[in-house]
Structure 1
């Protein structure tokens, strides 16, 4: 942040268990604004905790990002793009593609290319060489 010209102390990034960190930050009068990226459940809790002090709050609670493939697309590149858009971080980011639209005239060809590429992905220990997709964050995911 400092290299980007933001004065020291203006931007603070805190990570940790939401059940602990959220309550501390929302109760602290020195905190004027919170930005949270995560689940709707935690976002709802933070909103309620910010309400008494009318603390500014920005929430990114998951998306429903589309991925669109038109009939003039390079289907190999589009399939590679969809794999990156859908499977990054085991599909657990808020910007992962969740809706896929493919123009009707190319859907069969695109699906064939895409499924072949998906079948070639290696799933396993994300820290091992050659693994494309690691585990989910927890059993519920």
Structure 2
């Protein structure tokens, strides 16, 4: 079976996670649906990182996601996996890709009906969605992101 693709809406802990080469989430929330998905990642899975209206990076999981204490933040217990980041030299604005991605009609996907990004943390995505994003990028991508 091939790699799964995920969409991660990065926020205030982006720099911390990026510096520690991980993706992590806390179990300290009432809405776990798109937090515990971090624990479902398998080694080799690909993640698209979204921040401030732009797709800013890709990463490939270096291990399976796991339930653990997240040591470098105030998250406490949660989920985490190590990942290999590839920063896009030219971030891609969401308005370039949202219409095409929304046509995929992904159930619980990152783009909702009105074309906006779903307000959730770690969302199942698709290889086709990744190809759409790549079509709007003029820079070379790492081999592992070629699905």
Select the structure that is richer in helix. Answer: 1
- Answer whether TM exceeds 0.5 for this pair: no
Q: Greater RCO between the two (CA within 8 Å, min separation 6)?
A: 2
Select the structure that is richer in strand. Answer: 2
**TM superposition score normalised by structure 2:** 0.18
Pick the structure with greater CA Rg.
1
